[in-house]
Amino acid sequence: MSKANNKNVLFKAIGITALMTVFAFAMVPLYNVFCEITGINGKVVVSEALYDEVETDTNRTVTIEFITSINRGMPWEFKSTINKIDVHPGELKEVMFYARNYSQKTITGQAVPSVAPGQASFYLNKTECFCFDQQTLKPGEEIKMPMKFYIDPELPEHLHTVTMSYVLFNATSKGSDSVAAN
């Protein structure tokens, strides 16, 4: 091969690597947009909802189930204080979640919500949620975290059960161990 061919191959390899890197960073925002448009994976819009204008539909009851899990390697306990609750659409409810750091280090966690069936995510409104912010716990520290929500009365009649799922991830930044130790 000539030097010109080598340069051509090198530039193509660098270009492909750059495109792959850009694509990797673009995947998360693209996935979030895709989930928001299609309702797949029940990705909840993470924003504070307005509750003042909602009327309660006392003729209907919807069962809300709570599932929690911890990402592998996360040394925390994380759970809802209740497994399920019956609500009337439009009724504001508060549910408490519990977390405890069992490690010997300060760790920051981030809960990522999901809703099933995915269609229900359009009708679930959170006015307050621990999932809006990261939670930092010192070694052995425990915390109770509120989550306030309501189901929009426009929830389709065929939906009787909605499952809210949270996965807790370790969001501790690299190098924070040395900061936490000081």
Phi, psi angle pair for 86, to nearest 5°: -95, 130
CA–CA dist 57, 90 (Å, integer): 6
Domain boundaries, the chain: 1-38, 43-181
pLDDT, tens digit (0-9, with 9 covering 90-100), for 170-179: 988 765 443 3
pTM exceeding 0.85: no
pLDDT, tens digit (0-9, with 9 covering 90-100), for 15-25: 898 888 877 76
pLDDT, tens digit (0-9, with 9 covering 90-100), for 80-90: 999 999 999 99
| Among 125, 135, 124, 128, residue whose Cα is nearest residue 98 | 135
CA–CA dist 109, 119 (Å, integer): 27
- Respond yes or no on whether the N-terminal peptide bond of residue 29 is cis (omega within 30° of 0): no
CA–CA dist 113, 68 (Å, integer): 9
The CATH number of 43-181 is 2.60.370.10
